[in-house]
Amino acid sequence: MDTNFLVSALSISGLKIFATLLILAGAIYGFVSEKVAPDVVALLAMLALLLTGVLRPDEAFSGFSHPATVSVAAVLVLSSAIERTGVLSVVARRVLAPLGGSEFLLTAVIMVVIGVLSAFVNNTAAVAIFIPVVLEVCRQTGASPGRVLMPMSHAATFGGMCTLVGTSTNLVAHEFARNQGLPGFSMFELGKVGLPMVLVGFAYILFVGRWFLPRTQAASTDTIGQADPYLSELIVMSNSPWIGREVNPEKFRLDLDVELVGLVRDGRVVGLEEQPPHFAAGDSLRVRGALDKVLALAASDGLEVHRPEDRKSQDAVTQSDSASDAETPNSESAAAEKSVESESVGGKSASALRLAEVVVLTTSGLIGRTLKQIRFAERFDSVVLALRRRGGIRERPSTTPLHAGDVLLVEGSPESLTALAETRGFLVVGTIAQVKQRPHLLLITTLVLMGVVGIAALGILPIVTAAVAGCAVLMLTGCLPPRDAYQAIDLSLVFLLAGTLALGTALEKTGITTMLANGLAAMTGVTGPYVVLACFFLVAVGISELMSNSGTVALLAPVAVSSAAQMGINPMALLAAIAFGASASFAMPMGYQTSLMIYGPGGYRFKDFVRMGIALDVLLALLALWLIPQFWPLTAK
């Protein structure tokens, strides 16, 4: 009986280990492929762990109440309070405007300013406020946004490495350590390694790295969309001279300098490889190319850019067909001049329609949903004319699920574009959100933030307690209404952390971390603990190049602590290696929201991140692996 029970227990344990590894592999594939939003991937992984019996409900959902998740949410609220005072916008305008004459000086000052701010304020908020200001300064002075925006984004990451509250990565590592009975990190302890990394990173970018970046033009109404190809949908009108012409993709490429990627007729995709079809009224052409070429094609007689059926176009009568298109006679003028004068419609005063590029952020709540599902045109009083995505797309823009970092070409009035710029989750390039100045709130908000930092630095209260208390003070004093505080919390990040923490718990519970630790312990006898430290750092760099850096720490931290226990290594040294490794990953744009934010406005391509980032990754890795053992000795204490 005892033998049978033992065999049964071992078989169940083996099945759970297999299930956990399978779920982990599926989650990593989901993070890398980006076919589903990262927070949804994490949530599905959590659900799979529940359904397979690997975790109990209290274990699976414990990530939502984990101090790491709560700390990150609280710091986001504190950052939002600082942003709400308008001080970041004032700093951006007053500091940057006089510096546009020298591109080097402009880049250097931006990096210093945003690096300091990001040590205490959420770097996403800081970068979002600085991007429109930087683009305006570049437009006025002729400086290249491609040479400025990526250094700014990387500087924001550098600044976050120096303090406990600077990035969610540090907070997750700290709170996991505390949860395991370890001391964690003090407020400025990470700066002992972070500050030298900042200095080396700044020097490399200013004197070497920025020369690998493209020299692009500042965004304006004349240069919108010239960086990467857009995908747009054009409709063949009923009286079009295109009707009856042979569909020839090669002619599109050679004569019109655009790619015809698809043809849809009556809701069905028409094959272009076999017998060439002929154009018919109502056909939907999906074309990809430089925006000026696409708009020039749209301006040709008989073709129009697809518009939603419920959009009331100026000077137009709405036409409804099977493709749900609304045609506008003045679209040719809009395409050629990128601005049209609209007449009074429904009692509204006339206004000029303009084009703007809109970057979709992870906080928009639209990730994974389509423009058609959210009724974008009706909701935001603007029309999406085209869509650009890293790696390209072939599907219809209006029915393509949105990804973080997607760039939408939006047509709307100045008022609607300004309102869109002030909407959470969107970055409207070239349109500066009109942030209300609230100087009377600045003193209280600054004192609260300083109080949180000081109390945590002195060890009076844990960072999670101090941060939550600071949020409460801000709400009680009226500096941040509860509704604004709740909106400041990035729920996608909360779900991502909760899901990856659940995966970490599963790795611990099933004994996978112990098995990995035993394997590393055997390796240590041959190579020494320093190699293990380097392995954790490099693995963290590699994973965070492809997925969220905070998720990387939540996933690797349990393995690091178990490995340290097995090998007699100081666990704080391994956690520091993971935290810095997860932050020091600059060769790809996927791991950081700030990189996705500057991707379109800077006119970057994927290779630009690789060319500048690989050498930066190597430099920072060598520096960190030299400094970490100096401040966190590998011998366990």
3-state secondary structure of 386: strand
Distance CA 559, CA 532 (A): 12
Q: 213: Cβ–Cβ under 8 A, 6 or more apart, which residues?
A: 144, 146, 147, 150, 602, 604, 608, 612
Please calculate the CA angle 25-27-28 and round it to the nearest 5 degrees.
Answer: 65
**Three-state DSSP class for 54?**
coil
Distances (CA, A) of 265 to 280, 300, 321, 371: 8, 20, 12, 21
322: pLDDT strictly greater than 80 = no
Spatial distance between the Cα atoms of 116 and 113, rounded to a whole number of angstroms: 5
- Give the per-residue SS3 of 72-117: HHHHHHHHHHHHHCCHHHHHHHHHHHHHCCCHHHHHHHHHHHHHHH
Higher pLDDT, 474 or 403: 474
> What is the rounded distance in angstroms from the CA atom of residue 148 to the CA atom of residue 139?
12
pLDDT at residue 631 in the model: 94
The rounded mean pLDDT for the chain is: 79
Pairing of strands 284-289, 259-265: antiparallel
Q: How far apart are CA 214 and CA 115, in angstroms?
A: 23
CATH class of 230-429: alpha beta
Domain boundaries, the chain: 13-56+492-631, 68-218+438-489, 230-429
Residue 97 CB partners (closer than 8 Å, separation 6+): 133, 137
Q: Please identify which residue in the block is written with the tokens 């003070």.
A: 473
Residue 172: pLDDT over 60: yes
pLDDT tens, 300-314?
778 888 776 655 444
Q: Give the integer Cα–Cα distance in Å for 360 and 312.
A: 24
Average pLDDT of the segment spanning 166-190:
91
Inter-residue contact 173 to 557 (CB < 8 Å): yes
Taking the alpha carbons of 140, 145, 147, 153 in that order, is the dihedral positive or negative? positive
* CA dist 371 → 360, 368, 378, 389 (Å): 12, 10, 10, 14
Host H or E run for residue 388: strand 382-388
Helix axes 549-567, 491-509, angle to 10 degrees: 20
Question: What are the φ and ψ backbone dihedral angles of 387, each rounded to 5 degrees?
Answer: -135, 135
Higher pLDDT, 102 or 583: 583
Phi, psi dihedral angles at 402 (to 5 degrees): -75, 145
Of 143, 108, 148, the residue nearest 130 (C-alpha): 148
In sequence order, the 6+-apart residues with CB closer than 8 A to the CB of 91 are 113, 117
Percent pLDDT > 90 in the chain is: 19
Residue 281: band (very low, low, confident or very high) from pLDDT cuts 50, 70, 90: confident
Question: Do 287 and 234 contact (CB within 8 A), yes or no?
Answer: yes
Q: How far apart are CA 270 and CA 255, in angstroms?
A: 22
Instruction: Round to whole Å and give the CA distance between 42 and 503.
Output: 9
Structure confidence at residue 436 as a pLDDT band (50, 70, 90): low
Q: What is the pLDDT of residues 557-584, one digit of tens each?
A: 988 898 888 888 899 999 999 999 999 8
Q: How far lies 304's CA from each of 1, 196, 286, 395, in Å? A: 78, 55, 12, 18
Residue 393 CA neighbour count, 13 Å, CB half: 24
pLDDT value, residue 344? 37
